[in-house]
Amino acid sequence: MKQYVVDAFTNQIFKGNPAAVCILDEWINEEVMLNIAIENNLSETAFAVKNSNQYEIRWFTPGGEVDLCGHATLATAFVILNFYENTDEIYFKTIDNVQLSVKRRDTLYEMEFPAYDLKSVNITDEIINALGVKPNEIFKARDLLCVLDSPQSVIDFKPNLDKIEKLEGLLLHITAKGKEYDCVSRSFGPKLNIPEDPVCGSGHCHIVPYWSEKLNKNNIHAYQASKRSGQLYCKIKNDKVLIAGEATLFSESKLNIK
């Protein structure tokens, strides 16, 4: 089985968010896919199988399967559009029958994802204790979104992963209004055995709707302030979030899976 590792949301290796990608002829056992993800020890390993004019796609973290992943979708599209298909647009279907699309626009790969419907959450002592700081606002959809007062607060944030794991939401995102960028964020997923996700595409399906409304603008240039860092060029389109970024190939390898 061939596997690619692609750094997403960057044009430099060792930056952005690395994802492993396996393009399969047919689906393999879920346990094997999870074991591959555990062996890779990246935040995401994507598996895709072509079915007619689209690809079915699934994503596994070292802690299990997830329903949506942005950077691994971008990485998978990069692999398919550069090594498998002679086209500039690819369509995916998730295990939940959600339709996704990715278009190549010059050096960018633009994904169309569903926007999450954010619900305001009370700022509790538990959340303040877990974060070590009092957020300005908190929202919840699939993940928990906490708004801090400055980009430096996001950059300097020191996560207590044991406490964060006990909070509601699959992942935790912290964000603040940016200076060079519209917004700055970081993402943490201890429930999925991901201490910090370097650049989280699905997280921006929470982050971008918030800042689009707050800043009263449809186009959001986002920066993820992890150690690896990455940039996302985002746009609100009705109930969708268009997320674009660059990608670069780090490696190609053969997995000895029988």
Instruction: Give all domains of the chain, ordered by start, each with its CATH number.
Output: 2-112+245-251 (3.10.310.10), 119-240 (3.10.310.10)
> Tell me, what's the pLDDT at 257?
86
Strands (E), the chain: 2-8, 17-24, 45-51, 54-61, 64-66, 89-93, 99-105, 108-114, 119-120, 137-140, 144-147, 172-177, 183-189, 194-197, 219-224, 230-237, 240-245, 247-254
List, for residues 92-148, the tens digit of each pLDDT value.
999 999 999 999 999 999 999 999 999 999 999 999 999 999 999 999 999 999 999
List, for residues 180-236, the tens digit of each pLDDT value.
999 999 999 999 999 999 999 999 999 999 999 999 999 999 999 999 999 999 999
Has this prediction a pTM greater than 0.75? yes
Q: Answer yes or no: 44 catalytic.
A: yes
- Of 44, 110, 196, 246, the active-site residue reads 44
Instruction: Return d(Cα 172, Cα 178) in angstroms, integer.
Output: 19
